[in-house]
Amino acid sequence: MTAWPYSTQGGSGNVLHIEVKTVTKVGSSIYLNLVTGHQNSEAEKWITHFTILVLSKGRIVHAKHQSKSDHTITTIDVTSEMLPSCILAFYLLPGGTGQDPELVADSVWVGVNDKCMGTLKVGLKKERPFQTLRLNSQVEVKVTGDEEATVGLVAVDKAVYVLNSKHKLTQKKVWDVVEEDDIGCTAGSGKDGLAVFKDAGLDLKMSTGMHTPASSDWQCPQSPPASRHRRSLKWLETKRNAGLGIDIFLEDQPIRTLFPESWLWMKFKLPKSTSGDISHYSTLVNVPDSITTWQLVAVSLKPGQGLCISDPFELTVKKSFFVDLKLPSSVVRNEQVQIQAVLYNFRMEQVKVRVEFPHKEALCSASKPEAPSRRGAGGQIQQISHSILLNPQGQTQMEVVPKQNFLNMVPNTEAEVFVSVQGYTHMLTHRSAHGTYHISNGHPGSTWLTSYVFPVFALAYSIMTTSTFDLHSLCATANWIITKRQAEDGHFLENGPVIMASMRGGYRGSEADISLTALVLIALDEGRYVCSQEIPNLPASMEQARSFLEERLPKINTTFAIAIVSYALALTNSPRAHDRLDGFASHDYCGGP
């Protein structure tokens, strides 16, 4: 697309601009703010009126002539004639004494929410809180619409649309077809005053001799198709023909062939209304034996109002108690398979059942001719959670949860649950009074070690039952990082030694200031939800660190630094998270040693 500035007539500098909300709905009002600009202040005195035209579906559906004021604000009521969209065209004719008037124009496209020009609704004559029916039950369907409109009514299984919904008829699809024949060529405005009218689909001829080029075929100029797009389409077609596409698989699926996919094909005419223009029609129908959700859709046709499609009305049909067998799609000879029976009970009371698997000679199972296999209900899995403070420090302890009876959970099995945990008391010995963590006494707090501990404890805080480590102590750790170890430009400093190589976090030798800042930012992001109230300036500190990483991102050279910085930026929703990462990816090699 190429955008050109508006060209004024004879270089006068007179322009007109419209400020408007570009999406609206029928029944509301469009509020327009008309703004004029003038190179010559005298020209403003010559403007006394605006003319407003509303075009939709190739017709002028509304026209208005309004006096100009200092701040001209006008309103237009949105009617059904403006569906599915309209173009608002404005023009004025300034001109001095003895001069031909100048044409100054502007236009804007406004979309109207997709709905019928008339009224059409499907429901039940007797509304109920839950639209749920039993199999083969009778229900009275009610259709509300414009009087004397011809209506078609159909019920479609919702499962059909789950597999393929591209052929579903909606009001939006109807309006999309209508807009394909719109004689307006742009979404608004034009390169000059005449082009505004031309692009809006209007022919203009003035007494001064100005006019738009004659329109013979009412077709907009077409851009040449992109060859790359054609190649992409050919590649997709080849892929589909080769059986690699998923669409063919979905389209060829047999869908519940023993049950109707659609029914209730009815055609009727709404009776003449005794009061107003809205009419009602009711009919008794019996729902099929399918356990599914039906979507009832009506289509109406009436002169002057076009084609109208109602919103789907869903009607669920189900049994209060039924069995669902989970069977594999296919098996091979001598293959061991599991056949699972799921019992659904939607009744208000419990039901005592017995599930039997009959004996079949072709199948090798636990069933015998004289004794079918029987199975009881599986029950529910029981879970027990413990929070344990270990002492002596740093050693693993094991606690045996009292043995639970799992006989009713998994057939013919018994299990004992052992919980192995490692305490955090040893870690607390490395904590100083102001919330930092160090390698040993006498060493200053380590930025990396402190930022490593913070998200771990923040994650465990919600399930800890001991008061040894409270919220204030946890958030003091993050507060020390952002107040004592963050520089003015946003990066984090490391003044404490990290002796063990396994605790270096990968940032040493990988542009330390950048990698460390990314690691700390990741830690703060993982624990921010715990300390957002305790540390009000935590978001500002994280934003400062993110800005530092975004500024240094183009200058990073090492792969690790690129990866960790990109990850930190992605966590904090930075738009630049992928600026450098793709450049380090290998596109011609997959796998590893």
Q: What is the pLDDT along the chain (593 residues), one digit of tens a residue?
A: 677 778 888 778 888 888 888 788 888 888 888 888 877 777 777 777 888 999 888 889 999 888 877 567 888 999 888 888 888 888 888 765 456 678 888 888 888 887 888 889 999 988 766 667 887 788 999 999 999 999 999 999 998 888 888 888 888 888 888 887 777 776 667 788 888 888 888 888 888 778 887 665 556 666 555 444 444 555 455 555 554 443 433 444 334 344 788 998 999 999 998 877 899 999 999 888 888 899 999 999 998 888 899 999 999 888 888 888 888 888 888 888 888 888 888 888 888 888 888 878 877 877 777 766 666 555 444 445 555 555 555 555 555 443 333 333 333 333 332 323 345 566 766 777 777 877 666 677 888 888 888 888 887 776 665 555 678 888 888 999 999 889 999 999 887 766 554 455 555 556 778 888 999 999 999 888 888 888 889 999 999 999 999 999 988 888 888 889 999 999 999 988 888 887 766 655 444 43
Q: How is the chain split into domains, by residue range? A: 9-113, 120-177+258-316, 320-327+339-357+378-392, 421-584
* β-strands 85-92, 49-56 pairing: antiparallel
- Are 29 and 104 in contact, with CB atoms under 8 Å apart? no
Strand partners, 285: 139
* Among the listed residues 102, 85, 122, the one whose alpha carbon sits nearest the alpha carbon of residue 43: 102
Cross-strand pairs, 110 = 86
Q: Decide whether 9-113 matches 421-584 in CATH topology.
A: no
Confirm or reject CATH 3.40.50.300 for domain 421-584, answering yes or no: no
Q: SS3 sequence, 456-502?
A: HHHHHHCCCCCCCCCHHHHHHHHHHHHHHCECCCCCECCCCCCCCHH
Topology classification of domain 120-177+258-316: S-adenosyl-L-methionine-dependent methyltransferases (2.20.130)
Question: Comparing C-alpha atoms, which of 46, 557, 81 is closest to residue 304?
Answer: 81
pLDDT of residue 142: 94
The predicted structure's pLDDT at residue 270 = 93
Which residue blocks in 321-444 are alpha helix, DSSP H? 425-428
What homologous superfamily does CATH list for 9-113?
Macroglobulin (MG2) domain (2.60.40.1930)
* pTM, full prediction: 0.47
Specify the amino acid at residue 363: L
Q: Is 409 exposed, middle or buried (0-12, 13-18, 19+ CB in 10 A)?
A: middle
In 3D space, the residue among 538, 567, 542, 543 whose CA is nearest the CA of residue 553 turns out to be 567
Query: Maximum CA pair distance of the chain?
Result: 114
pLDDT of residue 546: 94
